[in-house]
Structure 1
Amino acid sequence: MKKRKSPCIDVCEFTGPSGWCLGCGRTRDECARWKKMKPYEANIIEKELVLRLSKMTQLPEEQ
Structure 2
Amino acid sequence: MSSTKDPCISLCKFSDDICLGCGRSKREIKAWKKLDKDDKRTVLAEAALRLIKLGGAGRRKKK
TM-score (ref. length: structure 1): 0.74
Aligned equivalent of 1:38, options 36, 39, 46: 36
Identity %: 40
Q: Give the TM-score, by structure 2 length.
A: 0.74
Aligned counterpart, 2:26: 28
1:52 aligns with 2:50: yes
Structure with the greater relative contact order (CA < 8 A, sep ≥ 6): 1 or 2? 2
Unaligned runs of 5+ in 1: 59-63
Gaps of 5+ in 2: 57-63
Q: Which residue of 2 aligns with 1:11?
A: 11
> Which structure would you say has the larger Rg?
1
Amino acid at match of 2:20: L
Root-mean-square deviation over aligned CA pairs: 1.6
Matched residues in 2 for 1:50 and 1:28: separation?
15
Q: Which structure has greater strand proportion?
A: 2
Tell me the CA shift for residue 5 of structure 1. Answer: 1.5
How many residues are treated as equivalent by the alignment? 53
